[in-house]
């Protein structure tokens, strides 16, 4: 077996690593045979020199096999999931998982915590009293089978090699590497034993990928590696140049989900992302044969109330209340203060500094700055007006929810700064950019 420094030298010099050498690296990640300096050097070598598809497949597969890998021999319908690269106000997973389960697929979704300025699906679910995001694997499997959908957070023994590598990448300037991001995301997602995966690759000023070229390169890498690893995968590039939907903040996003599922409010951009991804999941699993029949299934799941019912059943099965849809605020905490944010001038909303809005939610304690920070689930923004809206001076462009005057003042001021209002209309970005098969 080659020494760690020899494996690092091969990649540093721009040569390809063999599957065996990649396997040694991943073993070294788990066993600590690669020390932190060596892992950091290896990450930097991969960052600088890149990897070919074969190498990324080997890295992904070895990292996936470093922990639990689920299988579902007992299930009689396709197993499908979606993963988003993350954004602000991105609550798509909730509606989507419920709709697709209502259409007959199984959706075992292992979700993440907030990362940087982006919100985390698992954190949002913890706004709901009693909800357990970390059940045992046996419980996760039972609920997926009985309800059709279970959304939980990452377990301790899921892709442990990624846990160590990600922590070291985070502090060595090696996060933004397409091979490393691909292996990191897919090692976790593929360990859920999926038949089909749909990736939502976000692009824009609130996303990890800021331009369409980067987003396309990541989408192509993920699609080709996941398909090579045997999971039918499609990627859809969607916009993150503004908050998605009308809310940003944990409990507020769950409330928006309830309003969406019951048809009380469906913000058009959010709805388009949900429906596009749902149709892709239904067609790729073979549940729908074409776009028109997928659309009918999605519409029925929503109008019949079946998607809302699936969501409520999942919440109850994982320890939450039985009546979240009827009485959402009986089991979530509301902030004690609400303040309207008023347009400072007449004009068009031409843009949002989306990352800044995400960081403001974190600054309000709606996310974490350190790993062990406690989240205030009640804080955030609602009634967010989208880019392109014409406003008069004094119109409400959003509302702040917080629990102290200081936080209200901080968040209102930040929000005003993060929204551009101009006399002439600006560019309105498309919601869906491209699909990569
Ligand atoms: N999310 C992950 O899980 N890994 C990355 O490398 C980036 C985003």
* Domain range summary for the chain, segments of one domain joined by +: 4-50, 80-158+168-328, 333-422
Bridge partners for 109 per DSSP: 151
Q: What is the CATH number of domain 333-422?
A: 3.90.1170.30
- The set of residues, in sequence order, having a beta carbon less than 8 Å from that of 298 and lying 6+ positions away, is 99, 103, 275, 278, 279, 282
Would you state the pLDDT for residue 74? 92
CB atoms within 10 A of CB 176: 14
Q: Which residue has the tokens 């699993």?
A: 285
Dihedral (CA of 133, 136, 138, 142) sign = negative
**Residue of the nearest CA to atom 6 in ligand 1?**
181
Q: Is 111 in the pocket of ligand 1 (CB under 6 A)?
A: no
**Residue of the nearest CA to atom 1 in ligand 1?**
185
Q: Establish whether 164 is a catalytic residue.
A: no
Q: What is the CATH number of domain 4-50?
A: 1.20.970.10
Distance 74 CA to ligand 1 centre (A): 30
- Is the pTM of the predicted complex or chain greater than 0.85? yes
80, 194 Cβ separation under 8 angstroms:
yes
Would you state the pLDDT for residue 370? 79
H/E element, 239: strand 232-239
Q: List, run by run, the mean pLDDT of 10-residue segments along the chain (437 residues).
A: 94 98 98 97 98 97 96 96 96 98 97 85 96 96 98 90 91 92 95 97 96 97 95 98 98 98 98 98 98 98 98 98 98 98 98 97 92 92 98 98 98 98 94 97
The CATH class for the domain spanning 80-158+168-328 reads alpha beta
Distance 301 CA to ligand 1 centre (A): 31
Candidate list 91, 113, 124, 189, residue with the active-site label: 189
Q: Is 184 in the pocket of ligand 1 (CB under 6 A)?
A: yes
Would you state the pLDDT for residue 386? 97
């Amino acid at each position: 077996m080659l020494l760690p420094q020899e494996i690092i030298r091969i990649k540093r010099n721009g040569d390809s690593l063999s599957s065996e050498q990649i396997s040694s690296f991943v073993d070294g990640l788990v066993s600590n045979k690669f020390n932190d300096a060596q892992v950091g050097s290896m990450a930097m070598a991969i960052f600088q020199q890149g990897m070919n598809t074969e190498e990324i497949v080997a890295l992904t597969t070895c990292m996936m096999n470093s922990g639990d890998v689920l299988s579902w021999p007992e299930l009689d319908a396709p197993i499908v999931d979606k993963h988003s690269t993350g954004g602000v106000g991105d609550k798509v997973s909730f509606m989507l998982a419920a709709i697709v389960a209502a259409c007959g697929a199984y959706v075992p979704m292992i979700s993440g915590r907030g990362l940087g300025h982006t919100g985390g699906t698992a954190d949002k679910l913890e706004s709901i009293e009693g909800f357990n995001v970390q059940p045992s694997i046996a419980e996760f499997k039972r609920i997926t089978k009985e309800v059709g959908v279970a959304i939980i957070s990452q377990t301790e023994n899921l892709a442990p090699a990624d846990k160590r590598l990600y922590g070291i990448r985070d502090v060595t300037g090696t996060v933004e590497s397409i091979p490393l991001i691909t292996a990191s995301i897919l090692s976790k997602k593929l360990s859920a034993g999926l038949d089909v995966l749909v990736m939502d690759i976000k692009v824009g000023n609130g996303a990890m990928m800021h331009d369409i070229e980067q987003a396309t390169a990541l989408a192509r890498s993920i699609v080709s590696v996941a398909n090579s690893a045997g999971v039918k995968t499609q990627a859809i590039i969607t916009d993150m140049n503004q908050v998605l939907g009308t809310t940003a903040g944990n409990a507020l996003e769950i409330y928006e989900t309830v309003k969406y599922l019951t048809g009380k409010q469906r913000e058009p951009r959010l709805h388009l992302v949900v429906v596009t991804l749902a149709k892709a999941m239904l067609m790729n699993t073979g549940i729908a044969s074409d776009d028109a029949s997928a659309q009918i299934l999605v519409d029925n799941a929503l109008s019949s109330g079946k998607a809302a019912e699936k969501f409520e059943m999942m919440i109850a099965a994982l320890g939450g209340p039985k009546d979240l849809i009827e009485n959402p605020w009986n089991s979530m905490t509301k902030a004690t203060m609400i303040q309207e944010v008023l347009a400072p001038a007449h004009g068009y909303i031409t843009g949002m500094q989306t990352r800044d809005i995400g960081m403001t939610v974190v600054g309000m304690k709606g996310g974490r700055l350190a790993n062990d920070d406690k989240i205030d689930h009640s804080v955030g923004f609602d009634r967010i007006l989208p880019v392109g809206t014409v406003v008069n001076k004094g119109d409400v462009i959003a509302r702040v929810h917080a629990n102290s005057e200081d936080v209200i003042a901080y968040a209102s001021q930040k929000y005003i700064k993060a929204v551009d209002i101009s006399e002439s209309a600006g560019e309105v970005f498309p919601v869906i950019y491209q699909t990569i098969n």
